[in-house]
Amino acid sequence: MSPASRSGPALGTLRRINASRSSVVPGERCEMCSAQVADEHQHVVDLHSRSLMCTCRPCYLLFTDQQADLRYRAVPDRYLAFPGFRLDQSDWDDLQIPVGLVFLFENSVQQRVAAFYPSPAGATESELSMSAWSRVLAANPGLDTVLPDVEALLVRGGGRRADDDGFTCHVVPIDACYELVGRMRATWRGFDGGQEARAALDDFFTKVDARSTPVQAAP
């Protein structure tokens, strides 16, 4: 048998392998099982590292039980708005947040509330006055519905509303907060962010407002 005929089956196998590789459509993949995922996909949070993981639907569903004692937890797709949110400028000053935008979430591993704001360097943590935050929670009982680790309270000042001293509050998925941080980092120019960053911020909140279900304050 000639060398060419002996190598025929092996070459055929290699050709099939190469053909199958070239037919794979490039794109993001599930970080748990490596299955391909669409551009719009869901995430889970690694509670220890605080990192977000892109997941396919089956892997995502494994971690939707918010009470399960697991390292990973699925990020829900819930948006809430609080039209009667009560926060005045003195309370905001007591929170010691240096900018007019912050997202806060409960870190169940560290057993504390963490506060972050977007900046040119990414998500920057702010030391939170817990006594001041307790007063805000007492004035707004509905805020205690936020889920630990996977949802955040997104608070914005700057006079977007005529009432409530210009502060608004939403419950948003934690991945939405990191999306906002990424957009601000990419568009930030100069000392105050510039026009492009402000436009990106307004566009983000327009979409949040459109997706949010209003929650009326209890009497």
Indicate whether this model's pTM tops 0.85. no
Of residues 28 and 213, more confidently modeled: 213
Cβ contact 179:189 at 8 Å: no
Output the pLDDT for position 158.
63
For the chain, the structural domain boundaries read 1-75, 80-214
The residue-averaged pLDDT of 113-119 equals: 90
Output the pLDDT for position 12.
47
Backbone CA torsion sign across 95, 122, 214, 105: negative
Output the pLDDT for position 26.
53
Cβ partners under 8 Å of residue 4, min gap 6: none
Of residues 27 and 128, more confidently modeled: 128
> Residue 218 pLDDT > 60, yes or no?
no
CA pair distance 193, 66, nearest whole angstrom: 37
**Residue 16: φ, ψ to 5°:** -65, -40
pLDDT digits (tens, 9 = 90+) for 24-80: 445 689 999 999 999 889 999 999 999 999 999 999 999 999 989 999 999 999 999
> Residue 173 pLDDT > 80, yes or no?
yes
